[in-house]
Amino acid sequence: QAQLVESGGGLVQPGGSLRLSCAASGSIFSRYNMGWYRQAPGKQREWVASITTSDTTKYADIVKGRFTISRDNAKNTMYLQMTNLKPEDTAVYYCRQYGTVPDVWGQGTQVTVSS
């Protein structure tokens, strides 16, 4: 059974940066496409970015140019480098492993952007 554990969240001022990590276990990480999602209070969970097994990346328009998704298959870990953070980026950030039934999600890590 695959498990995902996010880390790296915290409180940051507007304009600041954070790097989130998603550590995978229980599956062959390199075989799966992966994604980041987020959910702000009172809002639906939304897709942020995804990365394929061949390192092709896609981003939601609202984070394009500010966030960078990457993966290190040797460490079974996916990352989300976030720069120029805005208050509207405040949310719980989740990682997801695609292609399994049921879906595999992490427990989330809180990111708060506030002065």
Q: What is the pLDDT of residue 1?
A: 82
pLDDT in tens, 5-55: 999 999 999 999 999 999 999 888 999 999 999 999 999 999 999 999 999
pLDDT at residue 28, as a whole number? 87
77 pLDDT more than 90: yes
Mean pLDDT of 80-97: 98
Q: What does each C-alpha distance from 52 to 27, 34, 48, 66, 105 come to in angstroms?
A: 16, 6, 14, 19, 16
